[in-house]
């Protein structure tokens, strides 16, 4: 199965405006992936310049630092499960200034 992931990209140090970049991720049949797993796949296999927040407590939903918007709604990325196919839209956390891509402060 393939998941289409549209990711907000913006580096204010070199860009004037944000844009979206599309990635296609193979999700093995029957596996449950979180949005954070999908971002890890993108970072390690497709584009290492992608910036997103990952913390040692991630995958436990404890710190909530990996919050961002998934399909227009705030979500904790390490807990939010992606569909095995289809599309998701990832944007920075609501109400935060974008530092780079999905990282806000």
Q: Which two tokens stand for residue 61?
A: 């939903």
Domains of the chain: 2-104 (3.10.20.30)
pLDDT, tens digit, 9 for 90 and up, residues 41-96: 999 999 999 999 876 556 666 677 788 999 999 999 989 999 877 899 999 988 88
Best CA proximity match to 68, nearest among 80, 84, 56, 86: 80
Angle at alpha carbon of residue 22, lines to 103 and 56, rounded to 5°: 35
Q: Are 103 and 51 in contact (CB under 8 A)?
A: yes
Q: Are 90 and 7 in contact (CB under 8 A)?
A: yes
Kindly report the pTM of this predicted structure: 0.89
Once rounded to an integer, what is the mean pLDDT over residues 18-24? Answer: 97
pLDDT (0 to 100) of residue 29: 85
């Amino acid at each position: 199965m393939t998941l289409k992931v549209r990711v907000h990209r913006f580096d204010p140090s070199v860009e004037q405006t944000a844009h979206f970049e599309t990635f296609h991720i193979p999700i093995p049949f029957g596996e449950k992936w979180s949005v954070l797993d999908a971002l890890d796949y993108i970072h390690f296999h497709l584009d290492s310049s992608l910036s997103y927040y990952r913390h040692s407590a991630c995958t436990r939903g404890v710190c909530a630092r990996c919050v961002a918007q998934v399909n227009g709604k705030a979500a904790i990325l390490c807990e939010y499960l992606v569909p095995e196919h289809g599309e998701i839209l990832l944007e920075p956390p609501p109400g935060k200034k974008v530092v780079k891509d999905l990282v806000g402060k």
